[in-house]
Amino acid sequence: MPTRLLLLADTHVPVRARALPPQVLAALDEADLVVHAGDWVGEAVLDELAARCASAGARLLGVAGNNDGPALHARLPEVAHHDVEGLRLTVVHETGPASGRERRCAAAHGSGDRPADVLVFGHSHVPWDSTTTRPDGGALRLLNPGSPTDRRRQPACTYLTAVVDGRRPDPLHDVVLHALPLRGAPGAG
């Protein structure tokens, strides 16, 4: 059965926003696996996502980021791995500068007995979707969902959804970057 993913990073609640946007919460209720690539900032967001995932029968996979304090670092790893229908997901917060990112990530996460097929990362608040070649010749997809609460120099706050279906030759599909309406804009919640 296909697995619906919600990919988040850099939520920065309550510093950059008081709460997660309603569109993110609606996507959360539809997800089978919620992935958060760090910079939660407040434990309340982790608790909220964990509770909503538990009530919906979904799994939460997250890591700590550079803006997360000691309490979040005590609860979350720096690197997380999870197999989804035969696809190896790895989650980290930082991957360094954009220049040379694919090469660095392939070297750091694309080798060993369980190389990553997909690397989800955050930190920059800049959405990213690229594919590179691992040392073993396999593909490594790099995804950064941006931030749903702090767009920085981006045109909109963003998050990603995707579907994993292990029965397909390319199991990760329907990767969609969702742009949120600007707060205070006409029609914005």
CATH number of the domain within which 59 lies: 3.60.21.10
Give burial (CB, 10 Å; 0-12/13-18/19+) of 184: exposed
DSSP string covering 113-149 = SS--SEEE--SS---EEEEEE-TTS-EEEEEE---SS
Looking at the predicted structure, is the pLDDT value of residue 16 above 60? Answer: yes
pLDDT of residue 1: 83
In a domain, 8, yes or no: yes
83: confidence class by pLDDT, cuts 50, 70, 90: very high
The whole domain housing 14 covers 3-90+147-179
Query: Does residue 184 surpass a pLDDT of 90?
Result: no
Distance from C-alpha of 74 to C-alpha of 66, rounded to nearest angstrom: 13
Q: Considering the domain boundaries, does residue 28 fall inside one?
A: yes
Residue 111 located in a structural domain = no
Task: Tell me: pLDDT of 186 over 80.
Answer: no
Tell me, yes or no, whether 118 lies in a domain.
Answer: no
> Is 18 contained in some domain?
yes
The pLDDT tens digits of the residues spanning 43-71 come to 999 999 999 999 999 999 999 999 999 99
User: Given this model, what pLDDT does residue 20 score?
Assistant: 95
pLDDT, tens digit (0-9, with 9 covering 90-100), for 114-155: 999 999 999 999 999 999 999 999 999 999 999 999 998 899
Answer whether 18's CB lies under 8 Å from 148's CB.
no
- Answering whether pTM is above 0.85, one says yes
How many distinct structural domains can be found in the chain? Answer: 1
Q: Give domain status of residue 96, yes or no.
A: no
The verdict on residue 174 lying in a domain is yes
Domain-embedded: residue 130:
no
